[in-house]
Amino acid sequence: MKRFLHSCTALTLSVAFATAAVAQEPLTELGKGEGEVSIVAWAGYIERGETDKNYDWVTDFEKQTGCKVSVKTAATSDEMVALMNEGGFDLVTASGDASNRLIAGKRVQPINTDLIPSWKTIDERLQNAPWNTVKGVHYGTPYLWGPNVLMYNTEVFKGEAPKSWNVVFEEMTLPDGKSNKGRIQAYDGPIHIADAANYLMAHKPELGIKDPYELNEDQYKAALDLLRVQRTLVGRYWHDAMIQIDDFKNEGVVASGSWPFQVNLMQAEKQPIASTFPEEGVTGWSDTTMLHADSQHPNCAYMWMEHSLSPKVQGDAAAWFGAVPSVPAACKGNALLGDEGCKTNGFENFDKIRFWKTPTSKCETQGECVPYHRWVSDYIGVIGGR
């Protein structure tokens, strides 16, 4: 039951997305730091050298600004929305399936890009992205982006990566002669419905899906039916990156959708792990550092947003998470990322990734689509075996 709590909370909160966003007035000048800044972030996004001393972009910031950084790790976008609705935080590293809800629910405020000198260095593909910009108003600074990859055990898939997502959606015998039943995982978040829709785009073109986040009733039903099949195969639904790592190392899990973060950590430990972009393509995330509407430490928050865009921080964070920096200058000369790191992590695949966004009833590819609050309640049902 515990794993459902964040989704249940999100069902209530997602209704806020139906309201129209009204722009508040951003800061006009930067003042003295307030001495602290609190950030809701994905695991591995805000490092201070505690896991690996080479990865630390907090300590110097605290010394330079006097702003003490505290971090609350969130495992899903729904948890981030819930925490920002509760309040008490200054910033959040929100993915596209949370950022639009936070904007519409007025939980984040517009930013004054003139107070962020490094804004002009951001990848132009991200500066006006629909998940952080509404009617020309910017709600945050792009941070990192990347794909949801298929992670697999190389001792099971010997010599050749799995070509299709079918290894996690359909019951089959894997190359080691054993069934995939009980040996795969799926993401414990309603946005995973889009992964099923993405798979169906390739395998059932007659459904007419053009965007995995914009589904009519028939397309949506087909995605849920596929996820119900997957439910019979899943050993555990994951949302905690470290627990997924443990499951691959110790619990016999051999294939799952994942983030490059988990892949990199296990490869660093010499685990038999690799990842691939299957033939159907992938979903992905582009995360934005957004300022809470009621931030108590806005000056420190602005200082952090500027700090987060420095090429050194961008490169180090991208290397640690296996992501792509939002500042292209970080792709060269970073000792941890290496000059091939951006290419390895998918810099050239931007147009091949279907980035997370919040499903709404009004959609571009067709007249009426199933809104996100339905995704939340129905995915809880799927996980529960309904």
pLDDT, tens only, 136-185: 999 999 999 999 999 999 999 998 999 999 999 999 999 999 999 999 99
Q: Report how far Cα 194 is from the mean position of its chain's Cα atoms.
A: 13
How many residues are recorded in the chain? 386
Mean pLDDT for 80-85 is 97
What span, in angstroms and rounded, lies between the C-alpha atoms of 231 and 385?
Answer: 7
Nearest to 74 by CA among 39, 50, 107, 109: 39
Mean pLDDT for 345-361 is 91
Give the other-Cβ count within 10 Å of 43's Cβ: 17
- Rounded to 5 degrees, what angle do the CA atoms 367, 197, 129 make? 65
Question: Is 147-283+359-383 the same fold as 2-146+286-355?
Answer: yes
Tell me the fold of 147-283+359-383. Answer: D-Maltodextrin-Binding Protein; domain 2 (3.40.190)
For tokens 């941890």, the residue is: 336
R_g of the chain computed on alpha carbons: 20
pLDDT attached to residue 2: 30
pLDDT of 1 over the 50 cut: no
pLDDT attached to residue 352: 87
Secondary structure class of 128 (helix, strand, coil): coil
pLDDT attached to residue 385: 86
Q: Are 287 and 39 in contact (CB under 8 A)?
A: no
Over the chain, what is the mean pLDDT? 92
pLDDT of 328 over the 70 cut: yes
234-238: strand order across its sheet: 234-238, 184-187, 255-258, 149-153, 273-276
Which residues have C-beta within 8 Å of that of residue 225, sequence separation ≥ 6?
none
For residue 24, what pLDDT band results from cuts at 50, 70 and 90?
low
Q: Supply 25's token pair.
A: 């007035």
CATH-assigned architecture of domain 2-146+286-355: 3-Layer(aba) Sandwich (3.40)
Q: Report how far Cα 155 is from the mean position of its chain's Cα atoms.
A: 28
pLDDT of 5 over the 50 cut: no
pLDDT of 19 over the 50 cut: no
pLDDT of 21 over the 80 cut: no
pLDDT attached to residue 325: 98
Position with higher pLDDT, 2 vs 208: 208
For the chain, give every domain's residue range: 2-146+286-355, 147-283+359-383
pLDDT attached to residue 367: 86
Nearest to 257 by CA among 191, 197, 187, 189: 187
Q: Are 208 and 220 in contact (CB under 8 A)?
A: no
What span, in angstroms and rounded, lies between the C-alpha atoms of 340 and 327?
Answer: 15
Q: Are 146 and 321 in contact (CB under 8 A)?
A: yes
Q: Are 300 and 284 in contact (CB under 8 A)?
A: no
pLDDT of 6 over the 60 cut: no
Averaging pLDDT over each range in 27-31, 126-130, 180-184, which range is the top one?
Answer: 180-184
